[in-house]
A = this chain, B = another copy of it.
């Protein structure tokens, strides 16, 4: 259960500033589905709008990284931050963008390896090699 109300479609439709964002999410995603994250943010329409605009600019717009690569980077951050919802939602998004089982497995392997070496480096307090600072 969330720490605030998740707005239903009816409640969202009754607030113009929320309806506008939800309509844009549906249009961009070509789907009627609005996931819980946006229903929670809808309690604060300006925060909802800023967050969606940020996500649209970074994840949905044309860019130099493949959209699937962006989703995999998102999963990596969400994993290290221990955000269960985020891992679930962005793994679903990555699969929707065509992530294969082999790509998923390789993503997991990199994430696990980074987790291991991050811990080893910190426990040893390794100083940065001057070469990396050039």
Contact status B54-A113, CB under 8 Å: yes
Kindly list chain B residues whose C-beta atoms are within 8 Å of the C-beta of A46: 57
Contact status B111-A37, CB under 8 Å: no
Contacts A57-B46, A89-B132 given: A118-B77 contact, CB under 8 Å? yes
Chain A, 103-134, CB within 8 A of any chain B CB: 103-129, 131-133
- Complex: A57 Cα to B59 Cα, angstroms: 22
Contact status B65-A129, CB under 8 Å: no
Contact status A3-B123, CB under 8 Å: yes
- Complex: A128 Cα to B77 Cα, angstroms: 18
Kindly list chain B residues whose C-beta atoms are within 8 Å of the C-beta of A129: 35-36, 89
